[in-house]
Chain A
């Protein structure tokens, strides 16, 4: 019998390298807490990190981890998950990677409804390359490489996400670890692709949506009575963020099969692809070729 999981199992010997007051500390703590509270030991999970400040957390936590290429974390995580459906797979990526270099992967991750969790570290800039504008930076903000203000429009990320018929959308704020832990646990247990928008303070480069700014505006929508089955209300809450910023589990549908469940060829298979590696006799398969 394996002992119950405890938070300290996720403690790494490596010291954190994030800036003081970086939102990553909160997200990192919530992720570890959620995994431990779900009773998952580090050896039971696969954590995949994109490139950026979030990815610098890849060696500050225990678990089977992967730290890959900029923008590509979703397909790698999806491939890993489909190979072994028994292992929960969580992918982490920043807003730069996810809405620029890897935006195609996000689109197809959502439409494929892969059974993985995706955590968007949304600090509205490229932090690790010292503060360039991303497509989620506010238009007009002066940033590194755009001293006169970002000329492009800001991408309406939540309108975009909801246009792709997601099955799980949540929003967290790096200043509220309890709330983040709650939605992470729900995401990990979700049937399909769970998208979490983690609004994150970046004290070094984001001087517009600061910790204080976010802290003043965020609220727990579920505590306010929001029902995550209510798609219309979820869209409103997700997209209307000027006065107040709704956090919590905004939308969830467990009725939509995930990608793996839709694979006709896998119906009735009780093993995972990982367990099926052996030599196969293929002589039946060439019958039509004689």
Chain B
């Protein structure tokens, strides 16, 4: 796969997001797969932020640590990011009279970097424009460097400023000026974009949060309550922005406890309701999760992970709340934990989560990560036919309601522990959704035999669920959409990679690389994290010369769960917990090291941690 990348850096609030978003959309429309990755500090103005686009004509879902072009909108970028450039890369900056220190001059020579100064202020003055228009000018310059057609950019910008005629004309002049600025010799040598793939032109450019929002609406969610906390807030914002089209009830609650309680009340009443949170917000929601377990109220909670503890790194990424999700809430109860991996299953898993919640009358926690929530994915339009709405043992027909008895609601003898459920307002015998231990009709009952029977009823749902959820997904190294047929039953595997969450994208890109596509590498990716099914893993481990766990946390939390469930200890781990995602080149080199250890006698554990000092 040939890939190129460019990175915009500047202060938060300088507009790198708007330039990045316009470029990403334009490049995608030209027929490329784009993956956009944002880094930014937890503040509104100032600080140092970046927006990186990785581009290919094949499917790509990862970022590299180094880029082909760096665009710095202030001098901090010149100081901090020049080392991010690949050999032969382009450095575009707007800082007048900048003197590169000796070390950077040496770097420019050794890597043969092309340094271009864009006299932004002068250009804007000539055009009668102000700093507000700088972004369009920069975007036009980059557009020209990428050899994209000017009309496409004009139509993108026109769509944005359609209601502001004066601003629109000025922006059009900026686009033309920006385009004309690139000297032909620079243009010729700048970027070698591979041949486009028209398929991508019609794709969506979407964040994981937007994908989840669409998935939730698709799943019939009619009520959303949330409290702002990064990185779950973009989902709340997206749902809120669409409310006049979806006609949903949207509530910004006074705290996470309220959000959790409101959606629980709405689910009890019988609609589909959703909330999302991050970090400390989930701690606050924990008591409500436990309550819903006792009253067997189906609920879905989204957890957008970020590094902790405490406020931690609120705008960075992690996979460090897996054990928290799996163990959330006081008392013993059945629950289901899923994790999305990319923009496809961020959509697909929302209907699944609501179906599981209603089928089993349990809480389903859907994990995502800042990396998924805020990265932009190039995504094929979502299928609108396949998903089903399955509300389980919900009784709505007059005839079934007429036959129901109050003690059917929490009948401890119910098959698989799943009893009938009917809604307030239904003409039927009533019951109490009782938070105290209760009998079949919801009356408080503290008798030992009853407590045991009810606990066993609720836990039986977990056993049933475990038998019915899918095994982790298996893929193998190979070009474009690896197939399992190459995984012959008898041959040993060079390497088995075990992962969950956002790492799937970067691992998939790596296993499709020229270097590794012909190796016998299997990738086992867990979407269903609790209950945890380990049969397929245990089978594959037997066949693999080496198994490595890839996670973005300190403890190897999936590894801990695996060990707890089946005793298997995956000793080799690649762990990262510095708030940054795994980058393509970084993880490729770590997997290469794992492969190099094959065949070495008495092979020692080869765990690696990244980001922190060794």
Contact = CB atoms under 8 A, between A and B. Distances in A.
Interface of A: 2, 14, 41-46, 48, 51, 56, 58-59, 62-69, 72, 75-84, 86-87, 104-105, 107-108, 260, 263-266, 269, 272-274, 276-286, 289-290
Contacts of B202: 290
Chain B contact-residue range equals 35 or more
19 contacts: A43-B429, A46-B269, A64-B424, A65-B432, A65-B434, A67-B433, A67-B436, A69-B261, A79-B264, A81-B269, A264-B243, A265-B248, A274-B423, A277-B272, A280-B218, A281-B218, A283-B382, A289-B205, A290-B205
Interface in B90-140: none
Contact of A273 (B204, B244, B249): B249
B271 A280 contact: no
B291 A266 contact: no
B217 to A, nearest CB: 5
B544 interface: no
Given A72-B257, A83-B267, 18 more contacts: A42-B430, A43-B425, A64-B431, A67-B432, A69-B287, A72-B287, A80-B265, A80-B266, A81-B265, A83-B270, A87-B424, A277-B272, A280-B218, A281-B384, A283-B384, A285-B242, A286-B382, A290-B202
Nearest to A51: B435
For the complex of A and B, list the 3 residue pairs with the smallest distance between their C-beta atoms, beginning with the closest.
A79-B265, A79-B262, A64-B424
Contact of A84 (B203, B205, B424, B430): B424
B205 to A, nearest CB: 6
B88 interface: no
Nearest to A288: B159
B250 interface: yes
Contacts of B295: 66, 68
Contacts of A264: 243-244
A65 B430 contact: yes
Interface in B232-272: 242-251, 253-255, 257-258, 261-272
Given A282-B214, A284-B245, A76 B434 contact: no
B75 interface: no
B214 A66 contact: no
A79 B257 CA distance: 12
Nearest to B264: A76
Contacts of A105: 254, 258, 261
B443 interface: yes
Given A75-B262, A76-B261, A43 B430 contact: yes
Nearest to A75: B261
B492 interface: no
B85 interface: no
Nearest to B253: A75
Contacts of A273: 222-223, 248-249, 266, 269, 271, 273
B382 A64 contact: no
Nearest to A277: B220
Interface string B443-481: 110000000000000000000000000000000000000
Interface of B: 29, 202-206, 210, 214, 217-220, 222-223, 225, 242-251, 253-255, 257-258, 261-273, 287-288, 291, 295, 351, 381-382, 384, 387-389, 391, 423-436, 438, 442-444
B269 A65 contact: no
B266 A276 contact: no
A286 B204 contact: yes
B443 A14 contact: yes
Contact of B288 (A2, A72, A274): A72
A46 B255 CA distance: 24
A68 B382 contact: no
A280 B203 contact: no
Contact of A83 (B210, B249, B382): B249
Contacts of A56: 444
A210 to B, nearest CB: 28
A77 B265 contact: yes
Contacts of A51: 435
Contacts of A277: 220, 222, 270-272, 389, 391
Contacts of A286: 204, 206, 210, 214, 381-382
Contacts of B261: 68-69, 72, 75-76, 79, 105
Contacts of A289: 204-206, 210
Contacts of A76: 261-262, 264-265, 268
B202, B206, B248, B435 interface centre (most CB from chain A within 10 Å): B435
Contact of B273 (A67, A69, A79, A284): A79
Contacts of B210: 286, 289
A143 B427 CA distance: 46
Given A75-B258, A104-B254, A279 B218 contact: yes
Nearest to B270: A274
Nearest to B225: A79
B217 A285 contact: yes
Contact of B247 (A41, A44, A80, A266): A266
Nearest to A41: B427
Given A43-B428, A84-B425, A277-B271, A79 B223 contact: yes
Contacts of B265: 48, 66, 75-81, 83
A105 B253 CA distance: 10
Contact of B425 (A64, A65, A69): A64
A58 B203 CA distance: 53
Contacts of B225: 79
Given A104-B255, A282-B384, A44 B291 contact: no
A69, A108, A266, A289 interface centre (most CB from chain B within 10 Å): A289
Given A14-B443, A46-B424, A82-B249, A68 B435 contact: yes
Contacts of B431: 64-65
Given A265-B249, A265-B250, A286-B381, A65 B288 contact: no
A112 B574 CA distance: 49
Contacts of B427: 2, 41, 43
A285 B216 CA distance: 12
A45, A263, A274 interface centre (most CB from chain B within 10 Å): A274
Contacts of A75: 253, 257-258, 261-262, 265
Nearest to B445: A59
Nearest to A276: B222
A281 B215 CA distance: 10
A83 B254 contact: no
A45 B424 CA distance: 7
B94 to A, nearest CB: 30
A43 to B, nearest CB: 5
